[in-house]
A = this chain, B = another copy of it.
């Protein structure tokens, strides 16, 4: 486990000692300490319970590093944050699941077992969050025309207005106009912000 709250550490330790007496449990209080251990690699770490808010890094970053250094290690996020976007980031960084810190001992052990058997594992509250996307996220997509979507993607590819104009066989002025309309719809004033929003809304 990688966790910096003593109370949580103690709780986990007891539950695990009781439920899986033969497992070896290691504790780390910072992300770096854990990564360093992985590099040493005396033991193969089969499952890592990562706190998301650590003093020296964040869960997503740590998760990526862990998976890139030790791809077979199963990672479970473990935190108080129930933000959907964060959970998704953890999953796409390679986590096998995510638990809220308010899990019961039963839930915890079930998730651990599921994860060890190769399944995805979530605590009950997290399942609910994952099941339906936040209304805000889905709602806030401004209606884009076909042409606008097309041009948005080309902008994201790093093409200039001139490039795009050449590709679509229209005037560069036209592309500039589309750019302007896109920025207006998203209420931003440059391409960088535009692309970030578009990426968040899965438009590219």
Q: In the bound complex, how far is the Cα of B91 from the Cα of A157, in angstroms?
A: 24
Say yes or no: A202 contacts B158, CB within 8 Å: no
Say yes or no: A202 contacts B141, CB within 8 Å: no
Cβ-neighbour of A192 out of B92, B119, B192 (below 8 A): B192
Which chain A residues numbered 66 to 123 have a C-beta less than 8 Å away from chain B?
67-68, 71-72, 74, 84-85, 88-89, 91-94, 96, 118-120, 122
Say yes or no: A158 contacts B193, CB within 8 Å: yes
Q: Is A52 engaged at the interface, CB distance under 8 Å to the other chain? A: no
Residues of A within 8 Å of B, CB-based: how many?
48
Say yes or no: A196 contacts B193, CB within 8 Å: no
Say yes or no: B196 contacts A68, CB within 8 Å: no
Stoichiometry, copies per complex: 2
Say yes or no: A188 contacts B133, CB within 8 Å: no
Say yes or no: B122 contacts A120, CB within 8 Å: yes
Say yes or no: B89 contacts A202, CB within 8 Å: yes
Residues in B whose Cβ lies below 8 Å from that of A204: 196
Say yes or no: B138 contacts A67, CB within 8 Å: yes
Assuming the contacts A119-B127, A156-B193, A192-B194, asked whether A91 and B88 have C-beta atoms less than 8 A apart, the reply is yes
Q: In the bound complex, how far is the Cα of B192 from the Cα of A93, in angstroms?
A: 23
Q: Which residue of B lies closest to A72 (CB)?
A: B132
Q: In the bound complex, how far is the Cα of B69 from the Cα of A132, in angstroms?
A: 12
